Chains A and B, each alone.
Chain A
Amino acid sequence: MTTTDAGALAPAPTQRKRPIGLLLVAAPVLLVLWLIIWPIISAVIQTLWLPTSDGGRALSVSSYEFFANDPYSRANLAITLWTTGVCAIFLLLICLPIALYLRFSNSKIAAYVQGLAIFPMFVPSIILSFAFIRVLGPNGTVDLLLNSVGLPKIKSPYLTPWGPVIGLVWDNIPLTVLILLSGLGNVSNQAIEAARDVGAGRLMLFWHIILPRISNSILVAISFAVLGIFSAFTLPYVLGPAAPEMMGPFMQRTFRDLFDPTNAITQAVITFGFCILFGLFYVRSVAKNRTP
């Protein structure tokens, strides 16, 4: 789709297909083949082609059977699915109103709101975790303030499944808002005004004019968030409960603490399986926006 563009850009007739380009791009491309493509293929092979008792290897799904029959693994998968779903819903409920407000307002306050919504991008998640514990943890700031006005302490979300949810939503607000805002750029002011002229209310306007035009951006934002949250490690590891744990900490513990790479890689392949549709959709959307 882009060779014609490149042809049009090429200034001199000498710029025909020359293998020297291949040489220049070889190093990063080989790195992608070695450290992305090959590990994925190898992970699938390694978990299906297992060592047998007589020293050889044979095709077997026993590591997947173990995962499917192990109540602890299943509980971890369930908490991961729950966290991802809840985070996706909260992200939409929080970010869509912010993005709509930013699209249709141009007051000074809007610039401040936009700055704040993007700010978490510049706060590493490990600092966020620490701030979370200091504010919502036991004897944190919220407890201090409640105590000072004579109210009982909160039931802290720290080390409960809600801990990672709050952290991950906080962390994902900036990109979700930016992607939705970019989608809202496709909604023309004329379309809005035309609908207003024929008497459409705010809700009608949102449902019939805005939503159809940004549905693709919503899907992109959700896909991006799901890919990041499903195998998130730092926030669930620091803020979440010890058991059941999300897939990220679970894989890390299986790999490094239990020295069981086969089962860790099986868990990784299972996360690939759950995210593959989101991943392909996301990559397709990014590629569509970019031509080399």
Chain B
Amino acid sequence: MSASLKVAQPVDWTGIVFAVVLTLVIVAPLLVVGTWAFTNVWRFPSVIPQEFGLKFWYQTLARADVWSSITMSLTLATTVTVLSAIICLPAAYAFARLDFPGRDILFFSFLAGHAFPKFGLLVAIAGIFLQLNLIGTFWGVVLIQLVGTLLFMIWIPVAAFQAVDRRMEEAARDVGASPFRVFWSITLPQAGPTIAAALLLSFVGTFYETEGAWLIGAPQVRTLPVLMISFINNQPVIQYGAVLSVLLWVPSFIALLFARRVVNSGSFAKGFGG
């Protein structure tokens, strides 16, 4: 802001150095993967691929394991997001609007899982699942991923409900609208965009959740990230992994388009304790 007052701005050398270094270490590796995905032949000493093409897109998309894991990932993420919405949104409304015994302590109880290293907690949960025969089952993975969405799916909608203009709701009540009508016509449209962001975050987060799916689900439940791990470990054809990486990035790209403004705002970092 103060810079705009100056007539001539000095060259921002620090910025240029940061920009160049970060481009090299953050963007360049991903461009390499992108290039590999559209490469038919790229043998060692050549700096650029010998032959570009879509050959490996056809081959990757012809694989049954790729399709079954895409279906599995989408089914899992949808199931978890829907279940999470069903149990969390009414709870968020209650936390935002109603007063009840133990409200504060219950609100903060959702932080409990964040006080522990995540994979250690997953192993402890897996110990419980072992007794319940949930290891290697679809619903076992659903449960473990559902737990991972609770904090976002309650805390973000609570903020959304609290931001709704109460005077508008009261005015609607005064002219005789039923509580349900008020919720549907006044509260939901105002809180909607933020709740949609929470749903998107929950869906994308679940889509990429690898550790719970691997620990609880393998080998029966194979999601796209889990398939990617086995491609990295056992697949000699590099292009399969590269094509799968590009496919795998799609949900993240969608999240990137929608979430950038949220992430850049100060309140986002505050949510992580900053």
Contacts and interface: CB of A to CB of B under 8 A. Distances in A.
Interface of A: 1-3, 6-7, 9-11, 15-22, 24-25, 27-29, 31-32, 35-40, 42-43, 46, 97-98, 101, 105-107, 109-110, 112-114, 116-135, 139, 141, 144-145, 147-148, 170, 175, 178-183, 185, 189, 217, 220-221, 223-224, 227-228, 230-234, 237-238, 247-248, 251-252, 255-256, 261, 264-265, 267-269, 271-272, 275-276, 279-280, 282-283, 285-290, 292
A147 B99 contact: no
Q: How would you classify the secondary structure of chain A's contact residues: helix, strand, loop or mixed? A: helix
Nearest to A145: B47
Shortest beta-carbon contacts, A-B, top 3: A21-B100, A179-B274, A231-B117
B143 interface: yes
B253 A131 contact: no
Contact of A247 (B109, B120, B144): B120
Interface string B32-51: 11001000000011110000
A161 B9 CA distance: 44
Nearest to A3: B104
Tell me the interface secondary structure of chain B in the complex.
Answer: helix
Nearest to A285: B273
Contact of B125 (A17, A35, A220, A223): A35
A1 to B, nearest CB: 7
Name the residue among B116, B128, B170 with the largest chain A CB count within 10 angstroms: B116
Contacts of A139: 44
Contacts of B107: 292
13 contacts: A24-B93, A25-B94, A31-B87, A35-B125, A42-B124, A43-B124, A113-B18, A127-B228, A182-B266, A238-B229, A261-B126, A272-B116, A279-B115
A11 B36 contact: no
A290 B249 contact: no
A11 B103 CA distance: 17
A24 B91 contact: yes
A290 B155 contact: yes
Nearest to B90: A24
B88 A28 contact: yes
B1 A106 contact: yes
B22 to A, nearest CB: 4
A25 B110 CA distance: 11
Contacts of B117: 227-228, 230-231, 247, 271-272, 275, 279
A64 B113 CA distance: 23
B119 A36 contact: no
A279 to B, nearest CB: 4
